[in-house]
Amino acid sequence: MTALPFLMQDDDGAEGNTPGRGTSVITRTKPKAKRPSLYRVLLLNDDYTPMEFVIHILERFFQKDREAATRIMLHVHNHGVGECGVFTYEVAETKVSQVMEFSRQHQHPLQCVMEKK
Ligand code: TYC
């Protein structure tokens, strides 16, 4: 965190930004751009979802090429969980919903979750 310059504003009616006799509020002069929190979207392993279907999910919803999608799928298969990408809250939530709905439509038990970084 870096300190920012402040401008003192008061209600004494005088020109300028010096404190007068009135009560004062401290006003931030520089707009504060807060970085949004980031969320990992994770795939969970199961015994039933076909490997090819998981690769397709990674290509379709996470813009992975075949090589990256295969690497991530195998990581999930071997370790139980793996990262598909990192997004802001709303984007992560949308990805999770899309993957869950698409898997449900194809009657696969694939699970997709998000976690705060
Ligand atoms: N374990 C599955 C199989 O052997 C493949 C799989 C990989 C399933 C990743 C889910 O997130 C997953 N068919």
Q: Look up tokens 């007068």; give the residue.
A: 20
Q: Which atom of ligand 1 is nearest to the CA of 49?
A: 8
Section 20-32 average pLDDT = 73
Q: Which residue has the higher pLDDT, 19 or 84?
A: 84
The pTM is what?
Answer: 0.79
H helical segments located in the chain: 51-62, 66-79, 89-105
**Torsions phi, psi for 110 (to 5 deg):** -50, 135
The phi, psi pair for 51, rounded to 5°, reads: -55, -40
> Which residue has tokens 């709303």?
90
**57 has pLDDT over 70:** yes
Q: Which of 71, 73, 78, 100 has the most ligand 1 atoms within 8 A of CB, as the residue to mutate?
A: 73
> Which atom of ligand 1 lies at the shortest distance from residue 74's CA?
7
59 within 8 A of 72, measured Cβ to Cβ: no
